[in-house]
Structure 1
């Protein structure tokens, strides 16, 4: 009887399980792809020994991380926060057409913002429970950085809310408002700045600045805890790529191609651009991006 009920529950949630496995495979592919591209940019080969053309390198690296013994403070929040971050990272996908909706909600855009805001507490909790000065400083800088981008991100998406008069991501599948518009390049630039700051990617990887923070908020993390933080971070890269394709594409085919383009651009930028100063990021977000997005928000409201 137990196995019958377990099988029934498994069948009901098979879409969720397959979906999670696909995301994990995409993360593994992204790690390998990033190391190959960075190797080409820096005139080295990258992973090429483990498996054919180094295809199994990511799997071996994951096993190596999981086999490491965790010697951190091991407090309650120290253990729970990486799991909490991974769950939030996966749960954000259920409201997006990837390529079908796993869960349709009338206010899916609002729920996406709520989940994105909750991710701040993951970084803050990890740094606070690490009982490490580098971790605390890294988490504080992370909160300032994420708040700066989220304000701009909220106003940016609000422009489309006023156009659609709806709060569902499904409306973007038929959106062609940027077709032939000269503003498209400017909006793409704003999107790259916002999402790079959220994802802690170069040149905005200030949360994990190794030169001054020794990896920042996750200094004390290793083993499976660090693996969960790593998976959630790279999973969010794919999610931001999906949103980029959804907003600027206007269809499933365009969405898939633009998602791959966004992921490739994030990797290439890491290979070319140096890290900015923390003050430069704050000035860029609050003094340039926010006034520009707020101006266009008012423009769309008038229209």
Structure 2
């Protein structure tokens, strides 16, 4: 019986990973289509019906290209950092609260914070091991950026945790039957949204890969499979952060069509922001994180602690 349970967990994880990879493939297609229409052009529409096979065409092209690497790079860390980045982005998906057959984390939010904190090392090592000044600058920017917003990121989450007094993501749905936390914690939920953009290195906070000033940043020396894995890790993180936002702020987890619509809408917001906002200035993000989000999140944390003690 015990072996059967293990097999079921492994099969469930495989199905989850395949589902995530297909979701990532079509998120890239959605992004290219939406950006195309924002810029008054078509986007991919030739491969397959209405461009529907374009993601698989891109995948085949990327993984069959020649794998190049700089002569003076630190080869082992250069080679393995995209792999570790991709594995980390898939491991976080084990957090989805299942009702059957898979894992239900009692300390899910702690696990999430640990995994996202590890993600910065892969970017830093990718930048450093490439032995390129542009890549190194991108890696250093990523480290400074992560330190800035992850402090307030954890504190914003703390307010939600104080309200439910648990780290289990499944419990968020029980406490949001009457009112969503998005409305209850209105400024905080928007702070969390922009922190999500910084977490996933997306416009307007894509400093680690600033094309205009760093010629693509930390991933400049990557080609073929390494570049594809970095790309997959980023888009997998976007999907997961959308899912987490819905679980924590938009009514919690339930296996309904409305839940998936919410996740799709938040993923669309990531693309929408990319199509409409210019890149933020680097020092302005530091200013925003330390002088705006940190005081706001601390004040709200104290307020919700007082509110909880008053109710007790």
User: Which TM-score bucket, shorter chain as reference?
Assistant: over 0.9
CA distance in 2, matches of 1:180, 1:120: 28
Superposition pairs for residues 159-170 of structure 1, below 5 Å? 159-170=159-170
Q: CA deviation at 1:185?
A: 3.8
**Equivalence for 1:284:** 288
TM-score, normalization by structure 2: 0.90
For structure 1, which segment, 221-230 or 98-107, has the greater mean C-alpha deviation from structure 2 after superposition?
98-107
Superposition pairs for residues 1-303 of structure 1, below 5 Å? 13-72=10-69, 73=73, 75-97=75-97, 102-176=102-176, 178-179=179-180, 183-251=184-252, 252=254, 253=256, 254-303=258-307
Answer whether contact 1:86 1:229 (CA < 8 A) is retained: yes
Change (3 A) 1:17 1:180: closer
For residue 156 of structure 1, give the secondary structure of its aligned residue in structure 2.
Answer: helix
Q: CA deviation at 1:257?
A: 2.5
Answer whether contact 1:36 1:45 (CA < 8 A) is retained: yes
CA distance in 2, matches of 1:238, 1:12: 22
CA distance in 2, matches of 1:214, 1:277: 16
**Equivalence for 2:310:** none
CA distance in 2, matches of 1:269, 1:12: 37
- Alpha-carbon displacement from aligned partner over 1:57-95 (angstroms, at most 9, x marks no partner): 111111111111111136111111111111110111112
For residue 27 of structure 1, give the secondary structure of its aligned residue in structure 2.
Answer: helix
Answer whether contact 1:163 1:300 (CA < 8 A) is retained: yes
For residue 175 of structure 1, give the secondary structure of its aligned residue in structure 2.
Answer: helix
Q: How many residue pairs get matched?
A: 297
- Alpha-carbon displacement from aligned partner over 1:179-224 (angstroms, at most 9, x marks no partner): 4985544233212210001111111111100111111111111111
Answer whether contact 1:95 1:101 (CA < 8 A) is retained: no
Q: C-alpha root-mean-square deviation of aligned residues, in Å? A: 2.1
Answer whether contact 1:175 1:247 (CA < 8 A) is retained: no
CA distance in 1, matches of 2:181, 2:56: 43
- Alpha-carbon displacement from aligned partner over 1:81-117 (angstroms, at most 9, x marks no partner): 1111111101111122268683122212111111111
Structure 2: where are the runs of 5+ without partners?
308-312
Answer whether contact 1:124 1:140 (CA < 8 A) is retained: yes
CA distance in 1, matches of 2:74, 2:180: 52
Change (3 A) 1:63 1:77: same
Answer whether contact 2:95 2:108 (CA < 8 A) is retained: yes
CA distance in 2, matches of 1:44, 1:119: 35
For structure 1, which segment, 129-138 or 244-253, has the greater mean C-alpha deviation from structure 2 after superposition?
244-253
CA distance in 2, matches of 1:126, 1:139: 7
Structure 1: where are the runs of 5+ without partners?
1-6
Answer whether contact 1:245 1:256 (CA < 8 A) is retained: no
TM-score, normalization by structure 1: 0.92
Q: CA deviation at 1:160?
A: 1.9
Answer whether contact 2:5 2:101 (CA < 8 A) is retained: no
CA distance in 2, matches of 1:70, 1:15: 32
